Amino acid sequence: MPSANNNHTLIGPDLPDNFSEVFLSAELELLGKQMRAGLPIGIALYLCFAALDWLVAPELFSSFLLLRLGAIVFPLAMIPLSKSEFGKKRIRGLALSVFLIGAASMVAMCYLLGGFASNYFVGLILMMFFVGLFLPWSIRNNIVFLGLLNGSYLAACLYKSGGLVNAEMPIAFMLGSAALTHLASSIMQDSRRQSFAMQLQLDIQRDAEIASQLKTISMLEEIDERDSRLVAVGQIASTLAHDMRGPLTAIINRAELLRVITDDSKQNEMVEKEVNAIEQSVQRVNSMIQELLEFVSGREVVLEQSVATIKDLLEPVAVESQMALQHSGIEWSFLVQGGEKKLLVDRHRFARIIENIINNARDALLSSKTSGPKVSLNASTDKGHLILHISDNGPGIPKDMADSLFQPYTTAGKAQGHGLGLAIVRNLVTANGGSICLDSTAENGCTFIIKLPLL
């Protein structure tokens, strides 16, 4: 008979590691059900055969009847006992006891009828076949039952007959039946194991499909909720864009008026510097509004690309970042390699990408109260790309959020995060022909890697 491991290999790799324990539990439950259902019928049939006793040996009828009545006492007690926890745990031993008691009564009848000369051994053969074909108990139980039944029959008949007179046919039938019964029992148990394994696989597959469907439903609900929120954000952004353009235009006009009415050259130089700062700030606010509108509406990002060196792109952003971070007590480091190489990029959008990630790092460091907070921007190149590493030593990104980090409304490490910043950043990076990812190899903090094509 194939072992449990072989069955596991033949059927497939999807069976659980505790398959043998699960199968055993199912076998015991099935055995208990069959014993409770079959014992009343078996007891009735066993008593009905008393009529055969009357026909075969009327002088021994009383003795045979007492044997039959004595043999059914324990099976009768077995019916309610098998329903208890005690009986369920010991169902194999109880079933073995029931059939051994029945076999012992029939061996006694063979003995009383003259040993090997009696044809009552046919009843023992029928009992062996019944047990082998219909009882889902272990092969060990089957061997014990067959061994004790045949051993007791041979011992009783040898003692009664005083030798092997008339023993050829009974012994041949008994031993042959025992061998066939054992073979049948092995085949039946293997068949039950195979069927149970196949059903278990189907159940596992069905549970996996149900789990997958539930996950899909959950994802669809999440997407629906996310889309609804994006629609709401889009409506708010459109309103803000409309309402803010008036005040922003007024600020630019008044800044230009200051430039015109200032006569003193020294004052004019100072005012010019401040007016430029005001105009740049207004331009950045306008860019933020535009980025939000592009993102929530799904419109194609409109770029104003120009050729620039890596150094010219990064140094202004690095200066502003250094001022903002040092003001917050955060150490800043900046390193550029290959700064003279050129790329085609939207300068304002490029600056927004860097600023957004660095601002996220600053907020995460301040929210987590990281000791000795640090942020760094390192630029290098390979054969065809500018590669930016933006790192911090903050709390990092949880692994279960890494895959959805660039999805809308995903935020980590910030007390006041809304989950749109990195989604917009990826939108801008992609529009400029690049890619962005989270460095999963970073041991501490968080590192974003941005790649943009060089000319």
Tokens of 288: 């933020």
Give mean pLDDT, residues 30-49. 86
Whether the CB-CB separation of 79 and 36 falls below 8 Å is answered with yes
Which CATH superfamily groups domain 305-453?
Histidine kinase-like ATPase, C-terminal domain (3.30.565.10)
319-349: pLDDT as tens digits: 888 888 888 899 999 999 888 999 999 888 8
What is this structure's pTM? 0.46
C-alpha triplet 241, 247, 250: angle, nearest 5°: 130
Whether residue 34 has pLDDT greater than 60: yes
Compute the average pLDDT of residues 23-37: 84
The dihedral over CA atoms of 159, 160, 164, 170, expressed in degrees to the nearest 10, equals -110
Of 73-82, 159-168, 291-300, 301-310, least confident by mean pLDDT is: 291-300
Residue 51 above 80 pLDDT? yes
Q: Which helix (H) or strand (E) holds 333?
A: strand 331-336
Where in the chain is CATH 3.30.565.10?
305-453
Q: What is the DSSP pairing of strand 374-381 with strand 331-336? A: parallel
CB atoms within 10 A of CB 245: 13
Q: What percent of the chain has pLDDT over 90?
A: 16
CA dist 22 and 138 (Å) reads: 14
Average the pLDDT over 34-43 and give the result.
86
Buried b (16+ CB within 10 A) or exposed e, 215-237: eeeeeeeeeeeeeeebeebbeeb
List the single range of 23-27, 135-139, 267-271 with lowest mean pLDDT: 267-271
Residue 11 has pLDDT above 50, yes or no: no
- Quick: pLDDT tens for 188-203: 888 888 888 888 888 8
- CB-based burial label for 180 (10 Å; 0-12, 13-18, 19+): middle
What is the C-alpha to C-alpha distance for residues 67 and 54, in angstroms, rounded to an integer? 14
Task: Select the highest-mean-pLDDT range: 167-181, 212-226, 262-276, 296-310.
Answer: 167-181
CA distance 171 to 154: 8
Residue range(s) in the chain whose domain bears CATH number 1.10.287 = 230-297
Pair 397, 438: CB distance under 8 Å: yes
Lowest mean pLDDT among 256-260, 276-280, 296-300: 296-300
What pLDDT score does 298 carry?
Answer: 58
Percentage of residues in the chain with pLDDT exceeding 70?
78
Residue 255 has pLDDT above 80, yes or no: no
Q: What is the pLDDT of residue 278?
A: 74
pLDDT (0 to 100) of residue 410: 64
Q: What is the CATH number of domain 230-297?
A: 1.10.287
DSSP for 350-373, please give it.
HHHHHHHHHHHHHHHHHHHT-SS-
Beta bridge partners of 119: none
| Segment 394-447, tens digit of pLDDT | 888 877 777 777 776 666 655 555 566 787 788 888 888 899 988 866 667 889
Q: Which amino acid is at 305?
A: Q
pLDDT digit string, tens, across residues 205-218: 888 889 888 888 88
The answer to whether residues 105 and 67 touch, using CB atoms and an 8 Å cutoff, is yes
Mean pLDDT across the stretch 241-263? 65
Question: Is the CB of residue 373 less than 8 Å from the CB of residue 331?
Answer: yes
Tell me the pLDDT band of 377, cut-offs 50, 70 and 90: very high
82 DSSP 8-state letter: T
Measure Cα distances from 283 to 252, 288, 354 in Å.
9, 9, 17
Q: Which long-range contacts (CB under 8 A, 24 or more apart) does 228-236 make?
A: 229/408, 229/409, 230/296, 230/408, 231/296, 233/292, 233/296, 233/420, 234/293, 234/296, 234/297
pLDDT of res. 4: 42
